[in-house]
Amino acid sequence: MEQYFTIFISAVVVNNFVLTRFLGLCIFFGVSKNLNASVGMGMAVTSVMTLSSMLAWAMHHFVLVRFHLEFLTTAVFVLLIASFVQLLEMIIKKQAPALYNMWGIYLLLIATNCVVLGVPLINADNGYSFSMSAVHAIGSGLGFALAIILMASLREKLRLADVPKPLEGLGIAFILAGMLALAFLGFSGMIAL
């Protein structure tokens, strides 16, 4: 139990995917302009990450390990996640149109994203069990959501600030992300994994 808790906390804050591992920066900057979009993106990433990590664990455990093809992990996971996201999109479009209207557009943005690929790869590298993989994925997703929501709230405030001309837009956003990352660095050493 303790181990799960450690994995979870480590994924949310200590090894936050965006702010300490620097993965998923494209959506982190692209979709953090307003709060609503970032909440939708955070939800979409968390759910896709969790489901695809579970599938990836099964694929890794039952196919790749069995045939001693671990070196194919990356290629197979890319294929798996891209297909899975498409499948998920079709199902949601049919079964839950309201949900689709809310975050359908974010789903396809995730299909080829490094965060979603990164989590299953780290799971496989660390040799996590099925439940550990799931907990790690949920934690990473929430960590991503936390980072993007923090960033979006800051950027909404920033829109009214008097930013020097050359730094307007992405320039100040990068500086802001750097400062957030420094703050998150404070968590490192809290948990040793």
Partner 1 sequence: MNTAILVLIVMTLIGLCFGLILAYANKRFAVEVNPLIHIVEDILPKGQCGACGYAGCQAYAEAVVINGDVAPNLCIPGKKVIADQVATLTGKVAPEVEPRIAHVRCSGGHSKAVKNYEYKGVHDCVAASLLQGGPKGCQNGCLGLGTCVKNCPFDAMTMSEEGLPIIDPKKCTGCGKCETVCPKHVMQMVPIGAAVTVNCNSKDKGAVARKLCTVSCIGCGICSKNCPHGAIKIENNLAIVDSSICLQKCNERTCVAKCPTGAIATN
Q: How far apart are CA 91 and CA 100, in angstroms?
A: 9
The Cα angle at residue 104 between residues 102 and 110, in degrees rounded to 5: 125
The stretch near partner 1 (CB under 8 A) out of 23-31, 126-134, 157-165, 182-190 is: 157-165
Q: How far apart are CA 3 and CA 48, in angstroms?
A: 23
2 vs 162 by CB, closer to partner 1: 162
105 binds partner 1 (CB under 8 A): no
The stretch near partner 1 (CB under 8 A) out of 33-41, 82-90, 116-124, 169-177 is: 82-90
Q: How far is the CB of 144 from partner 1 (least distance, A)?
A: 25
> Which pair of tokens denotes residue 71?
């070196």
CA distances from 96 to 90, 99, 102, 147 (A): 10, 5, 10, 27
91 binds partner 1 (CB under 8 A): yes
Q: Which residues are near partner 1 by CB under 8 A?
A: 59, 63, 67, 69, 72, 75-76, 79-80, 83, 86-87, 90-91, 93-95, 97, 160-162
